[in-house]
């Protein structure tokens, strides 16, 4: 049994403020495979305080230096890709080949794309040609709470962390308690890459606990959440009194639209896309809308 009870706060692994064990279940065997801790309000407060303290220094770090750290992160990520794949296969049931290619591969792919985008993004530029002395300066939003789901763990973690890092935001990650092991490895990677203490923090927990604490915390400036529509509504309502920015990717899977000029393999591709990750994907085309003229065929 794997035991991973600590949280990553302010550049160090820290024991939880109070004992609250949670068993991680391997869905391919339906047996517990690991024990983690679910955080308390004290743990959440400590992580947010670390992120808040690190914000002034990180947001004022030259963007070139922030990009360089993300580039270093890609290197250490790829060196530990097998560890990430094994963790995801264990805790969320992906076949190991898929965990190595699609699941782990998604993370490095997203991080590289953020590096490319950041190098081209005008963080500081003139308002327009007629007003060369008036500037538009893009600054960090602030302390970001990042809440990720179980089904594509590294895909979602890197999408949120990569964006926050290049933008100069500090962050607290709450991964799904159903698949937390890969995120804890990712915290090791952030540490090895050399991100300053407090820039990235990780607290495990469930939605009613750490999730709710983050969405109502007065020192959190933005929530990035991927999950159910029900939870997204609750987060938006909880964040409103403190005027947090809220970015949501919620339930509802995309339709597959097939027109009469589609090739003969369109249906097969749609079905295969639907069933990738056993259908547990937020872009799985679970409906197929077919033009009348080719419907019978």
CA–CA distances in Å: residue 241 to residues 143, 171, 232, 257: 17, 20, 16, 41
CA-CA distance, 218 to 288, in Å (whole number)?
Answer: 44
> What does the radius of gyration of the chain's CA atoms come to, in whole angstroms?
21
Rounded alpha-carbon distances, angstroms, from residue 201 to 28, 140, 171? 30, 17, 6
Q: Which of 3, 249, 260, 264 is catalytic?
A: 249
- Check: CB of residue 22 under 8 Å from CB of residue 36: yes
With CA atoms as reference, report the closest residue to 14 among 197, 171, 144, 177.
197
Contact 161, 171 (CB under 8 A): yes
Q: Backbone dihedral region of 158: left (phi > 0), alpha (psi from -120 to 50 degrees) or beta?
A: alpha
Return all residues near 184 (Cβ < 8 A) that are at least 6 apart: 4, 8, 36, 202, 204
Integer Cα distance of 11 and 54 in angstroms = 11
Does residue 177 have an active-site annotation?
no
249 in catalytic set: yes
Separation of alpha carbons 224 and 247, rounded Å:
5
CA dist 245 → 121, 141, 148, 160, 188 (Å): 21, 8, 17, 14, 28
Q: Parallel, antiparallel, or unpaired for β 131-137 and 143-147? A: unpaired
Q: Which residues are catalytic?
A: 249, 282
């Amino acid at each position: 049994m794997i035991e991973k009870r600590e949280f990553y706060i302010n550049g160090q692994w820290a024991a939880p403020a109070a004992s609250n064990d949670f068993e991680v279940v391997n869905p391919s065997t339906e047996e517990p495979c690991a024990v983690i801790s679910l955080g308390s309000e004290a743990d959440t407060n400590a992580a947010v305080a670390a992120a808040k303290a690190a914000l002034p220094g990180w947001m004022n770090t030259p963007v070139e230096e922030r990009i360089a750290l993300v580039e270093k992160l890609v290197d250490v990520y790829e060196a530990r890709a097998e560890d990430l794949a094994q963790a995801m296969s264990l805790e969320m049931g992906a076949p190991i080949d898929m965990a190595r290619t699609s699941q782990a591969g998604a993370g490095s792919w997203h991080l590289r794309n953020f590096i490319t985008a950041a190098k081209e993004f005008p963080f500081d530029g003139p308002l327009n040609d007629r007003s060369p002395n008036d500037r538009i300066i893009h600054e960090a939003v602030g302390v970001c709470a990042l809440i990720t789901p179980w089904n594509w763990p590294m895909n979602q973690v890197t999408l949120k962390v990569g964006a926050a890092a290049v933008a100069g935001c500090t962050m607290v990650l709450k991964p799904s308690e159903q698949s937390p092991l890969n995120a804890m490895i990712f915290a090791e990677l952030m540490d090895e890459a050399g991100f300053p203490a407090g820039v990235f923090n990780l607290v495990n927990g469930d939605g009613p606990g750490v999730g709710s604490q983050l969405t109502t915390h007065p020192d959190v400036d933005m929530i990035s959440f991927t999950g159910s529509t029900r939870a997204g509504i609750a987060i938006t309502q909880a964040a409103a009194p403190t005027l947090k920015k809220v970015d949501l990717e919620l339930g509802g899977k995309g339709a597959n639209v097939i027109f009469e000029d589609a090739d003969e393999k369109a249906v097969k591709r749609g079905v295969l896309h639907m069933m990738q990750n056993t259908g547990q994907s937020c872009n799985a085309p679970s409906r197929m809308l077919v033009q009348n003229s080719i419907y019978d065929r």
